[in-house]
Chains A and B, each alone.
Chain A
Amino acid sequence: MKASEPGQPSRWKPWELALFAALAASWFALPTHALLANEVAILALFALSLDLILGYAGIVSLGHAAFFGAGAYAAALFAKHVMPEPLVGLAVATLVAALLGLLSSALILRGSDLTRLMVTLGVASILYELANRLDHWTGGADGLQGVVMGPLLGIDFDLQGRVAAAYSLCALLLALWLCRRLVHSPFGVSLQAMRDNRLRASAIGLPVNRLLVAVYTLGAALAGMAGALLAQTTGFASLDVLDFHRSADVLLVLVIGGTGYLWGGVVGAIGFKLMQDLLSSWTPQYWTFWIGLFLVVLVLVGRDRLFRPWVWLR
């Protein structure tokens, strides 16, 4: 990914603009699939947050669901006990997740990739057990029920899910825009330098540890935002927002779409969710086989060649 000249925000490429517009237009074009769109937007936001720390800072995490779940529970508890206003709840949940990210960033500073993988996994697992243990607050394995959201800017959440989809899409688009500005700023360039060669980056004077903490916190905040959106649009939070399969799924989605160019999360989320939905209605029992096959073929053939089939003719 080419870095732009510092101080000059990089121009949006045509395909980026097209994708951005397509996302915004999807709400108008697909009213009956609003619920699916909602899920895709939330997953895309979650994957975007992982792309920040994985694709741009090189931190391999198998426990990103910790922040997703923290945001979800924070939003659900806030709506249930303090006030049901969605936007305030979203802000609070994002802050909670960011705080958690800040605290746990101390753990990922040292060690190899495998170490980081296991430490992040450990943190997520501990959080899962904690949520299970504190079932007085979280509802334990049954989940946190009775979360009734207030109207969003005066509009109630409807059964068809259009309000929810609009909410999540706006959050996603906002996050995309923010992240884009971030990665094309000096901060973003330093991140990439650090990702490519940490030793060299620290040798030229970049504050590596501080950069890691900052990007990890930001990634956690966005993941928490995604989790809060899920809790608010579905009206409950259960233990599987912290489950390992969520971390694994988001990693899968991001790698399918490609890391390091910000749109990988979106592409992967759309592709994966659509495929899963289609396959699952076709064969409710064995769809995982076809997804597995797709993954194997994707890697063997190569992502670039799959997305540009005309290359095969060369």
Chain B
Amino acid sequence: MQRRTLALALGAMLCLPALAQEPVKIGLILPMTGPFASTGRQVDAAVKLYLAQHGATVAGRKIEVILKDDAGTADTTRRLAQELVVNDKVTVLAGFGLTPLALATAPIATQSKTPMVVMAAATSSITEASPYIVRSSFTLPQVTLGIAEWASKNNIKKAVTLVSDYGPGIDAERTFKDRFTLNGGTIAGELRVPLRSPDFAPFLQRVRDAQPDALFVFVPSGVGSALMKQFTERGLDKAGIRLIGTGDVTDDDILNGMGDAALGIVTSHHYSAAHKSPANQKFTDAFAKAANGSRPNFMAVGGYDGMRVIVEALKATKGAGGDALLAAMKGQVFESPRGPVLIDAQTRDIVQDVYIRKVEKVNGQLFNVEFDVHKAVKDPGKTR
């Protein structure tokens, strides 16, 4: 009898190392090709950076990130997520560069009880699509409030909104309009630009005709430079119209290339590469070293913090997944390169500081320099 239990114990002990070797898998689905490839690139680089800096093991097991490209197509994202969950048995799904990609995958997360960390998509309703979704990026309403407030306090009575015609754009337009008119301003026009428009000329002409005090813009990162150029080229700045918007227009990724036309633009956003904190200094330095001198932008910080949330939660559950992992993700409070953040336990969305920044030249390069802050902003766009 004793020999048998001894044999069993020995056998079990021999199995343990085998179990301990199995890596913890994270399924990272990003648009690595197609029009949103730059988002995927930034998030991927940030994820790799986090693991390189903080070690890729948890509870004795190696962390393995399986990167998949969905090319920005929602049914591909969904199939990849399904395959990752069923075949690769991932513990966590992460990434999601656009709203429809996250929304399409939500039922998979719910059905398989796999926590899903949204690192880039920014529409409010995403976290409501599944109880297993946690967001580490931001929402448009969250960052639009700041600039709407700033506008009301800075002699801007009449504004025109110009947004790209898709989920986040419509969120931004609505939030700006609500807050701005609440503070007594008037909206002289609401323009929606098709997502794939090559030319802003007719829209900017309309703006000029409306003669507002300011133009509020939201366009996805990358398109901002064309808009800015045409704004100055048409002399709208000389006509006394200020350009304000969310930080997507002055995306750190391309800000430096925009030239002096961008100086003085005031935006509100949750992350600037120029944010003064030791955590951010470390982050930007390491990122530049790993990525040939390029700057991290708000997408990268979403990926970086998303990894932090995942890894810390895995440490707390010792590598287990499911509901326990989700619970460990909720309520995390930590210092991110962007500032202090909190994952709200109720909404599973991110609560963070939103800064008002102005584009200025620092050491010969253009940066978004923060000059004001709204602390601990919750996403105002939740319907429930």
Contacts and interface: CB of A to CB of B under 8 A. Distances in A.
A and B touch in the complex (CB under 8 A): yes
Interface of A: 32, 35-36, 38-39, 129, 132, 140-143, 145, 159-161, 230, 234-236, 238-241, 245, 280-281, 284-288
A280 B68 contact: yes
A243 to B, nearest CB: 8
B78 interface: yes
Interface of B: 30, 32-33, 37, 40-41, 67-69, 72-75, 78-79, 82-83, 85-87, 99-100, 103-104, 106-108, 111-112, 123, 125, 129, 165-167, 194-195
Contacts, number: 90
A145 B103 contact: yes
Contact of B82 (A140, A145, A159, A288): A159
A145 B69 contact: no
Most B CB contacts (10 A, CB to CB) among A39, A145, A284 go to: A284
A32 B111 contact: no
Q: Looking at chain B's contact residues, is the secondary structure mostly helix, strand, loop, or mixed? A: helix
B79 A240 contact: no
B69 A142 contact: no
Contacts of A145: 103-104, 106, 129
Given A141-B165, A141-B166, A245-B73, 17 more contacts: A35-B83, A35-B86, A36-B79, A36-B83, A39-B79, A129-B194, A132-B165, A142-B123, A142-B125, A143-B103, A145-B106, A159-B85, A236-B75, A236-B104, A238-B104, A284-B69, A285-B40
Given A32-B87, A240-B74, A280-B68, A140 B166 contact: yes
Contacts of B33: 284-288
Contact of B69 (A230, A236, A245, A287): A287
Q: Looking at chain A's contact residues, is the secondary structure mostly helix, strand, loop, or mixed? A: helix
Given A159-B82, A235-B107, A141 B69 contact: no
Given A230-B75, A234-B75, A159 B100 contact: no
Contact of A159 (B73, B111, B125, B166): B111
Most A CB contacts (10 A, CB to CB) among B72, B73, B85 go to: B73
A159 B86 CA distance: 8
A142 B67 contact: no
Given A145-B129, A234-B104, A285 B74 contact: no
